Amino acid sequence: MSIHSTILIVEDDPLIGKFMSRAVEDAGFRCMIAETAKDCRILFFSEMPDLVLLDLGLPDDDGLNLLKEMKDVRESIPVIIVSARERENEKVKALDMGADDYVTKPFGIFELMARIRTALRHSNRAASQTLSDEDAVFQHKGLTMDISKHQVRLNGEEIHLTGKEFRILELLFRHKGKVLTYSWLMQQIWGDFIPADNQILRVNMANIRRKLKENIEEPVYIKTELGVGYRMPEEE
pLDDT in tens, 156-198: 999 999 888 999 999 999 888 888 988 888 888 877 666 677 8
- Whether 128 shows a pLDDT value over 50: the answer reads yes
Say what the pTM is. 0.68
Cβ–Cβ under 8 Å, residues 41 and 33? no
Specify the pLDDT at position 165.
93
- Any idea which of 57-71, 111-125, 190-204 has the lowest mean pLDDT? 190-204
Mean pLDDT of 204-210: 95
Using only the alpha carbons of the chain, give its radius of gyration: 19
More confident residue, 2 or 55: 55
| Cα–Cα distance measured from residue 79 to residue 40, given in angstroms and rounded to the nearest whole number | 13
Of the ranges 18-27, 124-133, 193-202, which is most confident?
A: 18-27
Report CA dihedral (185, 7, 49, 45) to the nearest 10 degrees. Answer: 100
Judge if the upstream peptide bond of residue 106 is cis by omega within 30 degrees of 0. Answer: yes
Cβ–Cβ under 8 Å, residues 221 and 232? yes
Q: Which amino acid is at 236?
A: E
Specify the pLDDT at position 99.
93
Domain with CATH 3.40.50.2300 in the chain: 6-128
The domain at 6-128 falls in which architecture?
Answer: 3-Layer(aba) Sandwich (3.40)
Say which residues have a Cβ less than 8 Å from residue 164's Cβ, sequence separation at least 6: 189, 204
pLDDT, tens digit, 9 for 90 and up, residues 108-117: 999 999 999 9
Average pLDDT, whole number, for the chain?
88
Q: What burial letters (b/e) apply to 49-77, b meaning 16+ CB within 10 Å?
A: bbbbbbbbebeeeebbebbebbbeeeeeb
CATH label, 137-231, candidates 1.20.272.10, 1.10.10.10, 2.30.42.10, 3.30.1600.10: 1.10.10.10
Cβ–Cβ under 8 Å, residues 19 and 26? no
Q: Which residue in 44, 47, 9, 42 sits closest to 25, CA to CA?
A: 9
- Any idea which of 1-15, 65-79, 105-119, 184-198 has the lowest mean pLDDT? 184-198
- Whether 80 shows a pLDDT value over 90: the answer reads yes
Q: Which amino acid is at 173?
A: F
